[in-house]
Structure 1
Amino acid sequence: MRLLGTIYILCGITMKFVTGLFRSMHVLTAVFFAMAALMLIIIAVRMGWQAFGGELDSSAAQSIIEAVGLLAAAVVALQIAETIVEEEVVRDADISAPTRVRRFLSRFFVVVVVALAIEGLVATFKAIHDDMAHLPYAASILASTALLLTAWGAFVYFNRSAEELEPEAMQEAKGEDSKLQ
């Protein structure tokens, strides 16, 4: 019996160590996403400033449009960093219940769909002004974004029935929101 108790204690200590290690890796990953976002913002500001300082022509407009695309990518990186910190570090949530999965994926997909739509528009403007041969690529980005949005909507729709089977998970997930306020 003592041996089983010792093994149980050692397993508990090992799991706390592994959990702490994963939490640290999540924090490090979020920091890298935030640093990438900061670099993208700096590059976009530099591009915009150079476009503003030069002649105000179609070349400057293209630079501004590309800067907007970089800013959209920066927003995605920041949102991913924020989601990782909130879901994995602050809430320490186990992403297994349907409610948590839906909330996590919804946060992620909102950012990705908006960023892809902006990138599709940037690619469209660039193709129209530079080379019309690139227009099918821009259209494929926008079509893929629409498909992703449709798939996300289907996921949320079908996940609602699973959510209704365990209403206590919704209450628990809402209770975790208080950790963020």
Structure 2
Amino acid sequence: MSLLILKCKLKKISIPDHKSSSLQFKLKGEHTIEFFFTNGALYLKEIWSDKHRFTYDFMKYKLNFPLPAKASILSATKVANQVKLCIEQEGKTRVVYFSPHHVDMQKCNVKHLSHKPAQNFYSGTGADPHEKVHSGQPFDSEKLGNFSEANIPFVSSLLGQFRGEFEKSQKRPFRGR
């Protein structure tokens, strides 16, 4: 009996609570924009400046994203000056980001989604883990296709021949030899 209660408590704890969250951003100039996330959708809440305040809470202006039809938004959170969306698509969870500057206010469309989070000081120093920059040196890449044998002095011809034979063998059907 107590095991059943414990299972129910664990299920309740493991299910994330994404009922409603508010996201406020400072735009260029003196304007501020606020979104809110509820029931798997992101809505425009308010736009204001020092002189004017426009509230869209009661109209429910839903933001449209350039996502595949089967994708669903699990959560929306604020990360620096961007919105982080957790998206579930075909059983996989992905994270995408967008800037409030990329929202078309007339059509309520987001123009651009990115896989990279907000840039910080470390990305300018070359320590950005979201950018895969390869120096072109041999053995520098994890992918076999990016492997370069031209820079290895004595074995470049052997590696080139091996690569050519390997590609031919992949294209030929299996003959039992």
Q: Greater CA radius of gyration, 1 or 2?
A: 2
Give TM-score, length-normalised by structure 2: 0.26
TM-score by length of 1: 0.25
Q: Indicate the structure whose relative CO is greater, using CA pairs within 8 Å and at least 6 residues apart.
A: 1
The structure carrying a bigger helix percent of its residues is 1
